[in-house]
Amino acid sequence: MRSASISRRTAETDVSVSIGLDGTGRSTISTGVGFFDHMLELFARHGLFDVEAKVTGDLHVDHHHTVEDTGIALGQAFARALGDKRGIARYADIHMPMDEALTRVAIDISGRPFLVFRTTFKVEKIGQFDTELVCEWFQAFAMNAGITLHVETLYGDNAHHIAESCFKGLARALRKAVAVDPREDGRIPSTKGSL
């Protein structure tokens, strides 16, 4: 099973995460940020990743450090779990509907991290959660996972639905991109010979 754990401690957060790429979607998430926990649970369930995240952060300041540092650690764990990427499909894309919202997610597990995030929210908060932190998490995850990631919400009104379509879309696209393609016969899917 492709899996990895990462611990990250700073003056602002204490993060322990693990991910199993060949799991069943089981998750145990505790970040102290209810909406964020919900998004990570969706990420695990729809990616069929087994994810554990235990995070203590400076929530008396705001949610920023907790969300960003969780993205950093989970991205690092994802990259470690993939190893040298032999045999994976590498590329994937999906259109993810969530009621009135529709988000397109496209991925290249390239080793060249880059994020294009074209999603806007009509409100600044979902409950107590700052909607701008959705992009912060995607940025932290993509940079540390070493993936090229394009996320674009084509339309939508409800901020919860938009955020959910982004996280579910990422999960479903990653699920396809990390799948082992038997036709690759264990090769690294690149003419360069490495990713």
As a whole number of Å, the end-to-end CA separation of the chain is: 20
194 — pLDDT class (breaks 50, 70, 90): confident
pLDDT at residue 154, as a whole number: 98
pLDDT tens column, 154-175: 999 999 999 999 999 999 999 9
* Residues 6+ positions from 20 with CB-CB distance below 8 Å: 1, 2, 3, 49, 50, 51, 81
1 — pLDDT class (breaks 50, 70, 90): confident
Given a cut of 90, is residue 193 above it in pLDDT? no
pLDDT tens column, 74-129: 999 999 999 999 999 999 999 999 999 999 999 999 999 999 999 999 999 999 99
pLDDT tens column, 13-64: 999 999 999 999 999 999 999 999 999 999 999 999 999 999 999 999 999 9
DSSP code string of 45-89: HHHT-EEEEEEEE-TTT-SHHHHHHHHHHHHHHHHHHHTT-TTB-
5 — pLDDT class (breaks 50, 70, 90): very high
pLDDT at residue 144, as a whole number: 98
